[in-house]
Amino acid sequence: MNITADEVHSDQSKTILDLTVLYNGMPKKIEIDRDATVKTLLDRSIALFGNLPQPHTLSLWTEKGVELSNEQETLKAAHLKEGDSLILRPSAVKGGES
């Protein structure tokens, strides 16, 4: 499959991203503005899966194992693109008191 420069430009200029978020192996689709923050996507993802245990400890991870830890970063700045899949799982650094 060959991708043209017009298709690449079209994908990059799209303002709404269609993403997939996985939690415990269950995928759910989410549409979100690429100018939204990682925190907004995280909050919407947690709400999408309902009543989750300890939601304050959860983060979004790429399929390559990179945590989206800067919650103030936009999705565009985080280099998320159309069709990306993210995993909702415990953060490496979040948590309660010891």
Q: Which domain range does residue 76 map to? A: 16-27+34-90
The answer as to whether 54 is a domain residue is: yes
pLDDT at 28: 97
Express each pLDDT in 59-92 by its tens digit. Answer: 999 999 999 999 999 999 999 999 999 999 999 8
Query: How many structural domains comprise the chain?
Result: 1
The answer as to whether 10 is a domain residue is: no
Does residue 22 sit in helix, strand or coil?
strand
Q: What CATH number did the domain enclosing 85 receive?
A: 3.10.20.90
The answer as to whether 11 is a domain residue is: no
The answer as to whether 8 is a domain residue is: no
Length of the chain (residues): 98
The answer as to whether 9 is a domain residue is: no
Q: How many other C-beta atoms are found inside a 10 Å radius of the C-beta of residue 78?
A: 20
Express each pLDDT in 2-52 by its tens digit. Answer: 555 454 444 556 799 999 999 999 999 999 999 999 999 999 999 999 989
pTM of the model: 0.81
